[in-house]
Structure 1
Amino acid sequence: MNFSLCEESDADHWIYAGEGNLNLVVRYTGDNQIYKGKVLRVIKNSKNNQGPIQDNIVFKKQFSERVIQPLLGKEYVVQMSPVETSSEFLTRLAKHVEPFRPAFRTDRQIVTDSPISFLLNDLTQVWPNSPTLTYELKPKWGFKPDSSFISRNNIKKSSCRFCMHSYLREIPANDFCPLDLYSADRSRVQKAVRVLFTEKSLSKTLSVSVDGKKLSLSSIDHQNLLGFTNNNTDLMQEVLTNVILKDPILQIIKQLQTHLDELDVEGIYSLCHQNKDLLKLVTDDICIWKDVVDLHQKRRQDNPGFFMDGVCNTEEQKQRVYEYILSMTFKDCSIMINVTPSQATDISDKTITLADGLSFRYDVKVIDTDLKSIKKIPYWFELDQSIVKHATETNFEKKCH
């Protein structure tokens, strides 16, 4: 380990950038060249954290490198470098960022005795000398299940999970459906992007920043954006639409979600109900996960069609439970899309040119890919049943395509 943040005063050079359920991210603002252009990811306490903290952190790095990276592709995974962190540094950092945290996140605090945190490239500074527009998109589920464990007339086969869940939570009806984002159809992607920019209830699905500073989507028309003076709302929507249509990342995520969840939660829960030991499977052994990935990829090569019959032997049941846990990770991941102005002569594969001739380079990374807890399977099943029951009993009519 080459880096260390052990002095209490070191915390003063890091500012709050964001957080998820398990990690909090801070951005470096000091003059040390080692940390310039970097963010620091520190872990938060969780009821699922078990065993020595250092072992958990090392496993997260291995999981990213040996499981997520082979499935997604190396170009989409952010590389993590371990850095030593002292309790003095983390305690001061926790106090420093607390006023900037959203209230709904403050039930979990930074683990101040974590001996290791991770340095990552700041994804809002991919091109340090050029203005950078960053979209953080949480695309959600990109498919409707087609499992033999689901009855033919089950509403899940006509309405997507996101739309039914929004209906259950009484989120105001809107025209957004994640299946449109994944469709690879320009008009549908344009529609989904337009709604994401205009519907306040979807603020957790899409956020936008310029050079790391978050924008208010309701007032971007009056801001100078990347040096352009045309309608910024239209420009931002068109850029995002074109990147989604050109880059294969959403199709990769959709395939992973679908192929890792061939049995649906109803089939997975049925297996676990019959064999309680499946809920006690080991999940902190990286060798097991590497084997799971290898077996999954081999099955997809040998038999690319869905396996629609029941899973018989115990080893295959374990494999399918492990795969389902991975599918839940990809259903809850986020995508960071960065763009910067480019010359029309730029022949990079990661370049888009709009109808008016403006060109942009882009970069895509997938984040929030930590392993989910196997113990949540009963909860996921109960939630699934609640969503379906409510939609069925109240004659939910929205059909998703």
Structure 2
Amino acid sequence: MDTISLPSIQNTSPADWQYISEGGSSIVFSYSGPVNPQFDGTALRLRKVSNDSPVSPDQSQSAAEGQLEEPDDPTIVFQREIIQRLVPLTYLPRLEAVKVEREWLTQLAKLCEEKRPLERRAKDRIDLNRKKAVLATDLVGGKGWAVEIKPKWGFLPSPTHLSPATVATKTTTCRFCMHSHLKSTDGENVSLGYCPLDLFSGDTDRVKKALNTLWDVWIGSSGSVNNLRIFVEGQMLRPSVLPQSLRPLATQIIPSDARHPDLITIRDRFVDSVLPLLLDTPVLRILSMHQRNLDTLDIEGLSTLWKNAHSPLGPSEGIKIPSLGSGLTQPAIQELSSFVDIYLQKHAAMDHEHPDTANLQYYCLAYLLSASFKDCSIIMRIPPVSFDGKRREGTITVIDLDVKGVDRLSKWEKLDREIVASYVGVGDPAVCVDGQKGSTRL
């Protein structure tokens, strides 16, 4: 879309935008200014850059003199051209491009800096050189409350392409539980005890167990572990072991006559509020299905296919096989779209037990797309609770389905080896039950 015809953020004041949260690559704000049909109910997603990146001079003048048009954020194009073909639109946020300018971004950056976590401030900042940002559905602002969950990997791999050294471990303990173990041994705060396969199971008791564990980790880490986040009327809660820290949430889910609820009571009401929505929606099943189908070889099988393609006669002295993904270019959106055509029409009929090296590119793109589904989040929007006994419907939306870089394939291969090596031989390994095993229908 031509920048001239885009809505402009200049029509609002930077003070109209309330800091919500941020991830590794972007930072999100919620519109809270005067009534404005163009921005009411929206959130602004801005890209970040490393603090080590040089601050470029203002390019507005040269842009006005005929510089190339800045493309829309990849997230917008990726959702429109790829994700909407795989996930029903009703479960996706509205995403559109909006014009931004350096002076406005500079003011916003100053206003929000104190609200950002210290560890984020030390690493990165808003990219002031951008001419476009993403305007999205505001899923956490306004009345009511919202829950963000990062589910992670919802399946166990097939043993077909696993090595004798890893097959027993990988088919018993899920990737997330093994990774949590590795992180915890390095002293990192993680969601120990939470197993994504419980959340994805569709079984009431197991989903409830997953929610209870996510809650306990959220409380115990004061909200620093990001697999669970809770927002009340646009404000992200910073929990502690003191029930007072959860008062905003308690007013949403507990009758006013039940004063001073304890942590267990608040947790139980939270789980009771979220559980029906998770059990009724097909969203988790859709995510798990695509994760599993797109990662049908596991990174080990993909690595073997890569080596076979580069050394068809087997290992030979003097032949150095390039690292996984080396030499591949980042796929253009047209290439990804063509991939999805094949995925939807032919994937189920392909012989994945004996993959053809001629399909190496296909399997590499499949793994990249699988990673997008493994790293996304869901946001459940819960309306203000009525204590008249009537159930009010919430909504569930999938967010952060971002494009992954092809240069990460070799890093994922190395990380997989580290994760499994750290877990092999663990005295009491977690036994993760894949309740959706075999559910591969497209």
Match of 2:16 among 3, 13, 38: 13
Match of 1:139 among 131, 139, 151: 151
1:390 to 1:342, Cα distance in 2 relative to 1, 3 A: closer
Once the two structures are superposed, the pairs formed by residues 215-364 of structure 1 within 5 Å of their partners are 215-217=237-239, 218=241, 219=243, 220=246, 223-226=250-253, 228-229=255-256, 231-273=265-307, 274-275=309-310, 276=322, 278-302=325-349, 307-313=352-358, 316-341=359-384, 357-364=389-396
Q: CA deviation at 1:294?
A: 1.1
Q: CA deviation at 1:227?
A: 6.6
Q: Which residue of 2 aligns with 1:84?
A: 99
Q: Which residue of 1 aligns with 2:29?
A: 26
Q: Indicate if the aligned counterparts of 1:133 and 1:226 stay in contact, CA closer than 8 A.
A: no
SS at match of 1:63: helix
Residues 241-269 of structure 1: CA distance to partner in whole angstroms, max 9, x if unpaired? 11111111011000010000001111223
Residues 13-71 of structure 1: CA distance to partner in whole angstroms, max 9, x if unpaired? 212111111211111221151222211111112699xxx99655343321111111111
Distance 1:189 1:298 in 2: 33
Aligned pair 1:148/2:160, yes or no? yes
Distance 2:104 2:394 in 1: 35
Distance 1:215 1:60 in 2: 27
Q: Which residue of 1 aligns with 2:227?
A: 205
Code of the residue aligned with 1:374 in structure 2: it is V
Code of the residue aligned with 1:189 in structure 2: it is V
Distance 2:231 2:103 in 1: 31
Q: Which moved more, 1:369-378 or 1:356-365?
A: 356-365
Distance 1:278 1:176 in 2: 32
Code of the residue aligned with 1:311 in structure 2: it is D
Q: Indicate if the aligned counterparts of 2:44 and 2:136 stay in contact, CA closer than 8 A.
A: yes
Code of the residue aligned with 2:231 in structure 1: it is S
Q: Indicate if the aligned counterparts of 1:28 and 1:39 stay in contact, CA closer than 8 A.
A: yes
Task: Give aligned-pair identity as a percent.
Answer: 29
Structure 2 runs not aligned, ≥5 long: 54-66, 259-264, 311-321, 434-442
Aligned pair 1:37/2:41, yes or no? yes
Q: CA deviation at 1:100?
A: 1.1
Q: CA deviation at 1:162?
A: 0.9
1:378 to 1:301, Cα distance in 2 relative to 1, 3 A: closer
Structure 1 runs not aligned, ≥5 long: 345-355
Q: CA deviation at 1:234?
A: 1.6
Q: Indicate if the aligned counterparts of 2:372 and 2:403 stay in contact, CA closer than 8 A.
A: yes
SS at match of 1:397: coil
Distance 1:32 1:340 in 2: 21
Distance 2:303 2:68 in 1: 30
Q: Which residue of 2 aligns with 1:102?
A: 117
SS at match of 2:329: coil
Distance 1:209 1:381 in 2: 35
Code of the residue aligned with 2:209 in structure 1: it is K
Distance 1:382 1:245 in 2: 36
Structure number with greater Rg is 2
- 4+ residue stretches of structure 1 with deviation over 6 A? none
1:279 to 1:32, Cα distance in 2 relative to 1, 3 A: farther
1:32 to 1:319, Cα distance in 2 relative to 1, 3 A: same
Q: Indicate if the aligned counterparts of 1:144 and 1:157 stay in contact, CA closer than 8 A.
A: yes
Alignment root-mean-square deviation, CA: 2.8
SS at match of 1:361: coil
Distance 2:367 2:13 in 1: 41
1:256 to 1:123, Cα distance in 2 relative to 1, 3 A: same
Distance 1:110 1:360 in 2: 38
Q: Indicate if the aligned counterparts of 1:124 and 1:338 stay in contact, CA closer than 8 A.
A: yes
Distance 1:172 1:16 in 2: 24
Match of 1:397 among 421, 424, 429: 429
Q: CA deviation at 1:117?
A: 0.8
Q: CA deviation at 1:271?
A: 3.5
TM-score (norm 1): 0.86
Q: CA deviation at 1:324?
A: 0.2
Aligned pair 1:179/2:197, yes or no? yes
Code of the residue aligned with 1:191 in structure 2: it is K
Match of 2:177 among 163, 166, 172: 163
Q: Which moved more, 1:269-278 or 1:206-215?
A: 269-278
Distance 1:113 1:216 in 2: 32
Distance 2:334 2:389 in 1: 49
1:187 to 1:112, Cα distance in 2 relative to 1, 3 A: same
Q: Which residue of 2 aligns with 1:353?
A: none
Distance 1:296 1:75 in 2: 22
Distance 1:180 1:53 in 2: 49
Q: Indicate if the aligned counterparts of 1:226 and 1:340 stay in contact, CA closer than 8 A.
A: no
Code of the residue aligned with 2:382 in structure 1: it is V
Distance 1:175 1:166 in 2: 9
Distance 2:70 2:161 in 1: 37
Q: Indicate if the aligned counterparts of 1:43 and 1:111 stay in contact, CA closer than 8 A.
A: yes
Distance 1:53 1:378 in 2: 33
Code of the residue aligned with 2:131 in structure 1: it is P
Distance 1:27 1:207 in 2: 16
Q: Indicate if the aligned counterparts of 1:5 and 1:85 stay in contact, CA closer than 8 A.
A: yes
Distance 2:197 2:16 in 1: 41
Q: Which residue of 1 aligns with 2:63?
A: none
SS at match of 1:43: strand
Distance 1:53 1:25 in 2: 27
1:27 to 1:53, Cα distance in 2 relative to 1, 3 A: farther
SS at match of 1:45: strand
